Amino acid sequence: MSVASVAPGAGSMRPLRPFGLLAELTYRCPLHCPYCSNPEAIPLGDGELTTAEWVRVLGEAADLGVLHVLLSGGEPLARRDLSELVAAARREGLYTNLITSAIGLTRARALALKAAGLDSVQISLHADQGASADAIAGLPAHVNPSTINAWRSHGPHHHDLELPG
Amino acid sequence: MGAARGRLIGPGIRPRLAAKARVQTDRVSGQVVLLDPEGVLVLNSTGAAIVGLCDGRRTIEEMVAERAERYDAPPASLSGDVAAYLARLGDRGLLEIPGTEGAAR
pLDDT tens digit sequence for A77-91: 999 999 999 999 999
The answer to whether A5 contacts B38, with C-beta atoms less than 8 Å apart, is yes
pLDDT score, position A2 = 38
Which chain B residues contact residue A120 at CB under 8 A? 20, 36-37
Identify the weakest region by mean pLDDT among A93-107, A135-149, B60-74, B89-103: A135-149
Q: Which of A104, A108, A114, A112 shows the shortest CA–CA distance to A73?
A: A104
How buried is residue B9: exposed, middle or buried, by Cβ count under 10 Å (0-12/13-18/19+)? buried
CA angle A59, A113, A151 (to 5 degrees): 140
How buried is residue A70: exposed, middle or buried, by Cβ count under 10 Å (0-12/13-18/19+)? buried
Which chain A residues contact residue B38 at CB under 8 A? 2, 5
Please list the ranges in chain A whose pLDDT falls under 70.
1-15, 41-46, 143-165
pLDDT score, position A54 = 98
pLDDT tens digits for A96-115?
A: 999 998 888 888 999 999 99
Helix or strand (DSSP H, E) at B83: helix B76-91
By Cβ distance, the residue of A9, A93, A160 closest to B44 is A9
pLDDT score, position A58 = 98
Question: Is B101 in contact with B4 (CB distance < 8 Å)?
Answer: no
Q: What is the mean pLDDT of residues B77-96?
A: 91
The answer to whether A120 contacts B37, with C-beta atoms less than 8 Å apart, is yes
Binning pLDDT at 50, 70 and 90, where does residue B12 land? confident
The answer to whether A2 contacts B47, with C-beta atoms less than 8 Å apart, is no
Residue B32 in this model has a pLDDT that exceeds 70: yes
By Cβ distance, the residue of B22, B26, B28 closest to A119 is B22
pLDDT score, position A44 = 59
CA angle A43, A87, A21 (to 5 degrees): 60
Which chain A residues contact residue B31 at CB under 8 A? 9, 12-13
How far does Cα B97 stand from its chain's mean position? Answer: 11
- Closest approach of chain A CAs to the CA of B76, in angstroms? 23
pLDDT score, position B3 = 55
Task: For helices B76-91 and B60-71, give the axis angle rounded to 10 degrees.
Answer: 130
User: Is the interface score ipTM higher than 0.85?
Assistant: no
Residue B69: what are its φ and ψ, rounded to 5°?
A: -65, -40
Which chain B residues contact residue A68 at CB under 8 A? 35, 39-40
The answer to whether B22 contacts A95, with C-beta atoms less than 8 Å apart, is yes
